[in-house]
Structure 1
């Protein structure tokens, strides 16, 4: 690569490749600053010493799965046929960890590995022409725009800023890398997706490149294009209430980070004026949605391809630092109440997303519940309507199973298992005759009061069987469904008594014919025991007690292969046994009435709560007795505490 070739893509010429390198040795570290995005793909390095040392010897392991390569690097590798592994590999986020080691030790081996492997990729995997190609072939090429942006706009800049002054970074090497970055940017400009969070990530990446390497001749046009396209995407990506259209606890941040990363880099480089004020207003609204939805341990609602071990504390810190969250409220949350000011609000309802968040406070011990009553979503759709999760006293107590593997690798023998985790059976909801929900929206509303919260959601799309996966370039992977019971209707009501600290869940199922309905509750692990109609977890620090009113048939499964029940996915491609509670009733109309009482410390078996109901003057009165104290709740059109 000659300097004459490089100068063709620059707005200002350089006398030599060494002059180019010297210039960026001075400029790039300052422009990049503390920029470092969490990787968005499910497969990524965790930066452990074992992993990083392995990268020096072509031992590429991510999330416990990997490949040892002899000789040439196989950039198309996909262990067990999982294309998501390959995506994580070729986004090359592991370069950042190699660069970290170089920065902290000065050991040239780490910098040399980054340069050598970056050049190996550049030499052996040239830009791909996607025109007219099938989607899966495109994805296997390693040049899907999602991976292109991950490499050139997210991971390479961080690594290069740390190793650019090393002896391993020669003028010739940097010239080749620099030209490849330009090719990556040109590819993004021409081939970025047109819809979904991928489009936003890719175009935001183009904007980031235009700031870090603003001497490139097309940088200003790329920057303007990125701002304009992202401005047109806000309402496609987010509801007016600020929550993601994807209806995913984890992917709300993924959608937000695309807009935020570009803004953050511009702000750091003194260029935030490129954004109109409405861009910043949307950022603040979506940042607050992230603030509202998080559980006390900074994890997220496990909806539409999410996992329980995902934590977003660092993300909140970044949003606060950028001035996008109320500083005192965010500081209180981040410091667990040691600093800042306690927010004046607790529970929250997203009226368009129809996500209800109930909470007792903002500390790590707070009681928290989320009820999803919203649209089916887009891009990461699971059949998870009316799912409920509960956390309290520092522990996630009732959680959905979570994402195992994506269903974007057709023909693989584990695909049926992956599809299970996208079905209703993997969520805290209700099945009809063992069948899952078919694709469809829910509806719902919430009332927030000083002494209680109440949410009511309905799902009316019906129940049926899942078919095979459909993989689409624009909307990702979904399963086909055939509706068998179109008239089955599920109504879920959740009442939270704030002072007493319990929830009452009433599920009403109706259809023209009698059906067997099964209410499902998933946990994160541990042990669940049962005494009659009472089930409870057995941890030392915090637990739940679940009491069924009436006499449903109750079963508990844990780590069962046949039937496949009782599993949790703490992270992508990780599967652990976790108790699953099922309660079943049969009829044309059935009603599950369930008390959920979080408790601090071990459950006292001699003092289990009593959950009863009576019909009085045409009203239903629930009575919850805990430790000799009884709390009464009137259920009807308006649920309320009976004083």
Structure 2
């Protein structure tokens, strides 16, 4: 065995307590059977499929999930693509399902799971070799890193089985060492700024700790820590967002760093402080991005995934009261296997504390999360005006999502597949698949295949303002500057259930302007309104401009490999010169009275009526409040600057006046 010293009682030299004490496995299994019967049943069902060589990748953090099972009647063909999607090979060779086998073994003590693990892993080691071109299939470095974690976790669950012999352990360790050498040798500069690099070196770190008493190369541990330190400082912005602009891959990176914290703490290995602190920032990104139903938005290449297990693990690792506020009340099924039995009691001892603010701006990355509060019945808006990110990024500048009445209304259309040349993949990445605007039927960012771009718009970010009664943000981009058009979107959220979109297009000449709105439910048109009827209420778009409107069914993908169709509204108008489109969006449950919206005149104090390109105002009336909103699109330079709207004297570029119970409040949002 190359560079491995074989010692007496070979298994005893493995670090079997790398995650949790081996003696606790029975306690963890009992805890799960007492508290998570649904998850236990899922584990056993999936494990039984794997025993029968039936594979369907369906755990919620499987990066590329599948919904159609595939069974190998004879031996497993590890580089087979049964569905024309190469991601199937990658999922098959990550071996997450062997962790499930190990959990099923711990839960049932049934040796069939251990036998399947040993037979399948032995077959893989014999058949799958790192030879020419396998770096693109079975031996990609990202999957090699992921395998290290999954193999080690599975082995520790099986270590008491009669099938885990010295002979099997010998080939297991030899192959794991081969993985380490491969990861060390094939590390590329590009990995410093890629989630691949994190997953690779997390695998190298875990394997180094697991085999620390066997391998002679003691530098692998320090090398992996140094690489992970460099990567987190390059990849995680100061606001805590991962630069690739995809929550799905932010969480893959977060998983690796939290797992690094766990194994290093368990094995008394000190980590650089920037790894510790930036991992916490990643967790807080999850905390603020999650919708009231606890799922992440489908931003870029992301699925509609519940974030609470990630936040729970982070709350425990940092003993953080605010993170626990957004997490599960008790240690969840997935976390207990990594954190150990002791975490149950220790987690309960952590208090919960609501954050100081409901809305939060990640200004480095251009991600803005606005909410009326932290309850499950509170409302939520997401707005994006930031960098594109990696090939996982979508053309979503100025996109908004809205969650209200405990359900989604305006949504991101998702990702569906990574297959090169798939028309739906290219559509779902495009501008038209997001709740944004386009000019002259052209895209501001142009997709080139599954991963490339022909043109990318430059975003321009503006300050974010949050108050108890409103949030305000604004975003611009240069995607149409070649057409002489500067695009801007103002967003005013009047809490709890009114959102105002002001779309501004600065330029000359005749152009066609479109808005795109993608809904989670059916939509119908009603005079100057568009209404989306959900299960619990409705979302109404009040159009203050004369627009052409059309509704069509377009693809939506909440999870990889899963596709459906939902209603999409497209509005359009043609205009010469500066153009603005104002949309007031309101949500109500089915018992609330309607909200009325009307446009108001804007005059100066000399009674000059201002043109729309100078300023516009709207009045929104509810059962208990009246809101007057002024928006100045350009500098007012003709005549007096004091403006009059609805008998109010006003000065400012964006102003909100609130009348409630006889009390009038004036707030200048932007001068």
TM-score normalised by the chain length of structure 1: 0.83
Change (3 A) 1:28 1:455: closer
- 2:656: which partner in 1? 641
Q: Distance in 2 between matches of 1:184 and 1:92?
A: 14
- 1:612: which partner in 2? 599
User: Is the 8 Å Cα contact of residues 18 and 263 (structure 2) preserved in structure 1?
Assistant: no
Which residues of 2 match residues 312-461 of structure 1 at below 5 A? Answer: 312-323=307-318, 327-334=320-327, 340-407=352-419, 410=420, 415-438=422-445, 439-445=456-462, 446-461=464-479
Q: Distance in 2 between matches of 1:201 and 1:186?
A: 15
Change (3 A) 1:635 1:201: same
User: Is the 8 Å Cα contact of residues 354 and 443 (structure 1) preserved in structure 2?
Assistant: no
Find out whether 1:553 has 2:548 as its counterpart. Answer: yes
Which residues of 2 match residues 150-549 of structure 1 at below 5 A? Answer: 150-153=146-149, 155-194=150-189, 195=191, 196-218=194-216, 220-271=218-269, 273=270, 275-307=271-303, 309-323=304-318, 327-334=320-327, 340-407=352-419, 410=420, 415-438=422-445, 439-445=456-462, 446-462=464-480, 486-498=483-495, 500-524=496-520, 526-549=521-544
CA-atom RMSD in angstroms: 2.7
User: Is the 8 Å Cα contact of residues 404 and 571 (structure 1) preserved in structure 2?
Assistant: yes
Q: Distance in 2 between matches of 1:406 and 1:532?
A: 40
1:341-389 deviation per Cα after TM superposition (whole angstroms, max 9, x unaligned)? 2222121112221222211222222211111111111241211111111
Q: Give the superposition deviation at 1:620.
A: 2.7
Change (3 A) 1:416 1:367: same
Give 3-state SS (helix, strand or coil) of 1:382's partner: coil
User: Is the 8 Å Cα contact of residues 488 and 510 (structure 1) preserved in structure 2?
Assistant: yes
Q: Distance in 1 between matches of 2:80 and 2:42?
A: 20
Give 3-state SS (helix, strand or coil) of 2:393's partner: coil
Q: Give the superposition deviation at 1:47.
A: 4.8
Q: Give the superposition deviation at 1:418.
A: 1.2
1:220-243 deviation per Cα after TM superposition (whole angstroms, max 9, x unaligned)? 311111111122223320222221
Q: Distance in 1 between matches of 2:402 and 2:396?
A: 15
Give 3-state SS (helix, strand or coil) of 1:216's partner: coil
Q: Give the superposition deviation at 1:317.
A: 0.5
Q: Distance in 2 between matches of 1:25 and 1:276?
A: 23
- 1:481: which partner in 2? none
From 20, 25, 28, the equivalent of 2:10 is: 20
1:568-604 deviation per Cα after TM superposition (whole angstroms, max 9, x unaligned)? 10100101121111111112433221111122x3376
Unaligned residue ranges in structure 1 (runs of 5+): 36-45, 464-484, 559-565
Change (3 A) 1:52 1:494: same
Q: Distance in 1 between matches of 2:362 and 2:7?
A: 53
1:370-424 deviation per Cα after TM superposition (whole angstroms, max 9, x unaligned)? 11111111241211111111112321221110111014xx4x6xx1221111111
Q: Give the superposition deviation at 1:334.
A: 2.7
Change (3 A) 1:603 1:549: farther
Q: Distance in 2 between matches of 1:603 and 1:218?
A: 71
Q: Distance in 2 between matches of 1:48 and 1:518?
A: 48
Q: Give the superposition deviation at 1:26.
A: 5.9
Change (3 A) 1:60 1:342: closer
User: Is the 8 Å Cα contact of residues 256 and 286 (structure 1) preserved in structure 2?
Assistant: yes
Q: Distance in 2 between matches of 1:210 and 1:22?
A: 16
Q: Distance in 1 between matches of 2:95 and 2:266?
A: 24
Q: Give the superposition deviation at 1:50.
A: 4.9
1:320-348 deviation per Cα after TM superposition (whole angstroms, max 9, x unaligned)? 11107xx2222323369997222221211
1:145-200 deviation per Cα after TM superposition (whole angstroms, max 9, x unaligned)? 111011122x1122111112112222211111111111111111111343211111
Q: Give the superposition deviation at 1:505.
A: 0.4
User: Is the 8 Å Cα contact of residues 65 and 79 (structure 1) preserved in structure 2?
Assistant: no
Give 3-state SS (helix, strand or coil) of 2:154's partner: helix
Q: Distance in 2 between matches of 1:544 and 1:219?
A: 61
User: Is the 8 Å Cα contact of residues 250 and 301 (structure 1) preserved in structure 2?
Assistant: no
Change (3 A) 1:220 1:298: farther
Which residues of 2 match residues 67-78 of structure 1 at below 5 A? Answer: 67-78=70-81
Give 3-state SS (helix, strand or coil) of 1:165's partner: coil
From 577, 581, 586, the equivalent of 1:597 is: 586
Q: Distance in 2 between matches of 1:521 and 1:594?
A: 11
Q: Distance in 1 between matches of 2:328 and 2:655?
A: 34
Q: Distance in 1 between matches of 2:228 and 2:467?
A: 38
Change (3 A) 1:440 1:85: same
Find out whether 1:138 has 2:135 as its counterpart. Answer: yes
Q: Distance in 1 between matches of 2:289 and 2:515?
A: 24
Q: Distance in 2 between matches of 1:570 and 1:169?
A: 40
Q: Distance in 1 between matches of 2:16 and 2:204?
A: 22
Q: How many residues align?
A: 574
Q: Distance in 2 between matches of 1:265 and 1:441?
A: 41
Change (3 A) 1:433 1:216: farther
Range that drifts further, 627-636 or 439-448 = 627-636
Q: Distance in 2 between matches of 1:336 and 1:395?
A: 22
Q: Distance in 1 between matches of 2:201 and 2:376?
A: 37
Which residues of 2 match residues 115-130 of structure 1 at below 5 A? Answer: 115-129=118-132
Change (3 A) 1:202 1:381: same
Q: Give the superposition deviation at 1:31.
A: 5.9
User: Is the 8 Å Cα contact of residues 15 and 212 (structure 2) preserved in structure 1?
Assistant: no
